Structure 1
Amino acid sequence: MDVDRYIAAHRATWNRLDELVGMARVTPGRLSLTETEELLRLYQLTSAHLSHVRTHHRDRALIGGLSSRVAAARQVIYGRRGRAQRVVVSFFTVGFPLAVTRAWRAIAFSALLFFGSALATGLWFNNSPQALDVTVSPEQQELIAGHEFEDYYSSQGAGVFAAQVQTNNIQVSLLALAGGATAGVLTAAVLVINGFSIGVVGALMHQNGAAGTFWGLILPHGLLEISAIVVAGAVGLKLGWAVIAPGEDRSRGDAVVEEARHGVTIVVGLALWFVVAGFIEALVTPSGLPTAIRIGIGALALAAAIAHVLAFGPAALAASRAGAGTDPWEVEKADLARAGSPPVRHPQPAAGP
């Protein structure tokens, strides 16, 4: 087959590819799912044509034209993937740390509710064994301190246990967020009740001579896990405060929507904290490693989470204030919305005809 016949046979394919690339360039993100799939198919087909021409015809003009078409289509396809990747990076370097930094006052209050409840409960029951006996029977205390508390962490396979812990913790964070709709009352209750539970168990273990077991098992995963719960609680408290006192410059509805948006950003980021804490709880907490090493792993995980927020949060907050209130994370998401289209995979050129 000579070059002219080859061109005539495939001209319609190349012209359609040019048309789709032009549409994508003029109105990014406006291609339908069907058109996007067609763009990918024609890109693969034209790549195969280019490979065939280079091997069998070696016509410089045709090779140059097909190379330009393939390059233009690749720029459109890979450019979209690049925008999506930038938004993911922006979430972890701007969106999440910025939202957490903005919520520092609420985080401090959330920590006060949780740790204040845990400390007060622990001190009360530790200094009043009679009250502890009323809450948890002496027989049950012996079982918990003797083996049940420790057995809990190795009662199931690591994978199943990690999944259950992660799911439960994420549900707690979502409950804390939803609790904001009750003016923060439910969120505060979740924090106080969880703190109370920690305090009771801590006092129980101390009273029964198992303090080392308690701290050796609770700290490796608890450092990050409890911190995540506290931050999640702050989300609900901020949302609740928006319901109570939206401010003079915004309506109650606008305040709730804004805080809910920031809250969702935080909860999505906290999911990673909960996943890491879940794996530590399943793999490190019940392991045979020395207690100091297990606690050290938990401390490193918490330090990494804090360092991540401190490394990006204050700078993002300063940039937001310098931009007269413009949120760089919201700008990034808006850019994606304008440029977005259904995500596409990296295509591989098909084999030659």
Structure 2
Amino acid sequence: MMDLDAYLAERGGEWRRLEVLASRPKLDDPVEVDELVVLYQRAATHLSVLRSRNPDPVMLADLSRLVLAGRAAVTRSSGGFSLRPLADFFAYRLPGALYRTRRWWGTLAVLLVAATAVLIWYMASHPDVLGLFVDDADIDDIAERSFVSYYSEFQSQNFALQVWTNNALLTAQCLAAGVLILPVFYLLWSNMLNTAVIGGVMVSRDAGSTFLTYLAPHGLLEITCLFVGAGVGLRIGWAWIAPGPLLTRQQSLVAWVREGMVVAVGLVPTLAVAGCLEGFVTPSALPAPARIAIGAAVWLAFLAYALLWGREADLRRPTGPESSDLPTA
């Protein structure tokens, strides 16, 4: 026989809050809608517990009525088509996830950009090393023709779709492989080496400005998305290695996989924007400073969204047990 007074004292606050939310004709705040769902699920569990352990008829009747009211309110709040969940995702959940993982993808960005720059300089300064990857004929062809023509070889819309698909696949691979840690570094190394070889070719032929002109408009955002995918993937892998003092390995991994799914969905339209930049802006007839300025403006807007607004979105996360699926950095 359970202590009914103790159980009521422990759960009564949640039941009263559920009654308040269920009595409202409409809930406009997404946080309150989420709270309503959680409290309804808990009340249903409490009702099941009471029925099996302490069938007090008065309390069972009151709690049954409350559960029915909660179910009706949940159905009413979630009924019909609404863009609010989508708006809430892009306004709060995605930027919050980007902000919480900022140390992982930000550190990768700094280290890999620096390493790539060093590799470009080293290959440009050591033709014998560069020759291990491309021969002299290919070097001349890349520097004089194929690097620039690559961006205008296909129609802009087709090229944008192609690079969007390729980059989304690479980023998804980094996210999915993160649980194993090492494959992420292999994917990053392959991408970094390819960029370094092309950059080394262009710099060795005094075409470094052309390399930056054609890389910066889309590359700032595109490569950042790759770093985000790789950083979040590594964070997922770290979740089961070092889950922390409050969660089991399984709980930590599940929480960060959810976070990774949020980021994965959010990177799809972001990479589409990068693909449009690469298909329409990079090969355009605009002056080089204008093309770079467009790419830089879009990139800075993404960073502001992820870091500045992301911090605000993270502060607005739900509090209490219902936020347990939102991990901390």
Q: Secondary structure at the match of 2:285?
A: coil
Q: Give the equivalent residue in structure 1 for 2:134.
A: 136
Which of 217, 220, 225 does residue 220 from structure 1 map onto?
217
Q: Give the equivalent residue in structure 2 for 1:104.
A: 102
Gaps of 5+ in 1: 1-24, 30-75, 331-353
Which of 231, 254, 257 does residue 234 from structure 1 map onto?
231
Q: How far apart are the structure 1 equivalents of 2:217 and 2:313?
A: 31
Q: Give the equivalent residue in structure 2 for 1:81.
A: 81
Which of 113, 116, 141 does residue 115 from structure 1 map onto?
113
Q: How far apart are the structure 2 equivalents of 1:126 and 1:289?
A: 29
Sort the Cα spacing of 1:304 and 1:108 in 2 relative to 1 into closer, same or farther, 3 A: closer
Aligned sequence identity (%): 32
- TM-score (structure 1 length as normaliser): 0.67
Matches for 1:117-196 after TM superposition, within 5 Å: 117-182=115-180, 184-196=181-193
Matches for 1:328-343 after TM superposition, within 5 Å: none
Per-residue CA deviation, residues 147-198 of structure 1 (Å, 9 max, x unaligned), is: 011111111111111111101111011100111121x111122122212221
The answer to whether the 8 A contact 2:93-2:262 is kept is yes
Per-residue CA deviation, residues 118-165 of structure 1 (Å, 9 max, x unaligned), is: 123112212212211222111110011110111111111111111111
The answer to whether the 8 A contact 1:181-1:240 is kept is yes
Given the alignment of the two structures, is residue 202 of structure 1 paired with residue 199 of structure 2, yes or no? yes
Q: How far apart are the structure 2 equivalents of 1:300 and 1:105?
A: 22
- Cα distance, 1:327 vs structure 2: 3.6
The answer to whether the 8 A contact 1:316-1:328 is kept is no
The answer to whether the 8 A contact 1:91-1:329 is kept is no
- Cα distance, 1:324 vs structure 2: 4.7
The answer to whether the 8 A contact 2:125-2:204 is kept is no
- Cα distance, 1:203 vs structure 2: 1.2
Which of 265, 269, 274 does residue 272 from structure 1 map onto?
269
The answer to whether the 8 A contact 1:117-1:196 is kept is no
The answer to whether the 8 A contact 1:162-1:279 is kept is yes
Q: How far apart are the structure 2 equivalents of 1:110 and 1:123?
A: 20
The answer to whether the 8 A contact 2:255-2:325 is kept is no
Given the alignment of the two structures, is residue 317 of structure 1 paired with residue 306 of structure 2, yes or no? no
Per-residue CA deviation, residues 220-278 of structure 1 (Å, 9 max, x unaligned), is: 00011011111111111101111322223212221111111101101111111110110
Q: How far apart are the structure 2 equivalents of 1:211 and 1:325?
A: 54
The answer to whether the 8 A contact 1:174-1:267 is kept is yes
Q: How far apart are the structure 2 equivalents of 1:329 and 1:283?
A: 40
Give the 4+ runs in structure 1 shifted more than 3 A. Answer: 76-79, 324-330
Q: How far apart are the structure 1 equivalents of 2:321 and 2:167?
A: 33
The answer to whether the 8 A contact 1:116-1:195 is kept is no
Matches for 1:242-321 after TM superposition, within 5 Å: 242-320=239-317
Task: Provide the aligned C-alpha RMSD in A.
Answer: 2.5
Per-residue CA deviation, residues 34-72 of structure 1 (Å, 9 max, x unaligned), is: xxxxxxxxxxxxxxxxxxxxxxxxxxxxxxxxxxxxxxx
Aligned partner letter, 2:102: W
Number of positions where the alignment pairs a residue of Structure 1 with one of Structure 2? 255
* Stretch moving more, 276-285 or 209-218: 209-218
Gaps of 5+ in 2: 1-25, 27-35, 38-75
- Cα distance, 1:325 vs structure 2: 6.8
Q: Secondary structure at the match of 1:283?
A: helix
Q: How far apart are the structure 1 equivalents of 2:321 and 2:259?
A: 14
Sort the Cα spacing of 1:89 and 1:191 in 2 relative to 1 into closer, same or farther, 3 A: same
Q: How far apart are the structure 2 equivalents of 1:282 and 1:167?
A: 13
Aligned partner letter, 2:149: D
The answer to whether the 8 A contact 1:125-1:131 is kept is yes
Sort the Cα spacing of 1:130 and 1:191 in 2 relative to 1 into closer, same or farther, 3 A: same
Q: Secondary structure at the match of 1:209?
A: coil
The answer to whether the 8 A contact 1:123-1:203 is kept is yes
Sort the Cα spacing of 1:328 and 1:217 in 2 relative to 1 into closer, same or farther, 3 A: farther
The answer to whether the 8 A contact 1:110-1:237 is kept is no
Sort the Cα spacing of 1:236 and 1:253 in 2 relative to 1 into closer, same or farther, 3 A: same
Sort the Cα spacing of 1:329 and 1:238 in 2 relative to 1 into closer, same or farther, 3 A: closer
Q: Secondary structure at the match of 1:273?
A: helix
- Cα distance, 1:318 vs structure 2: 2.0
Sort the Cα spacing of 1:152 and 1:231 in 2 relative to 1 into closer, same or farther, 3 A: same
The answer to whether the 8 A contact 2:177-2:183 is kept is yes
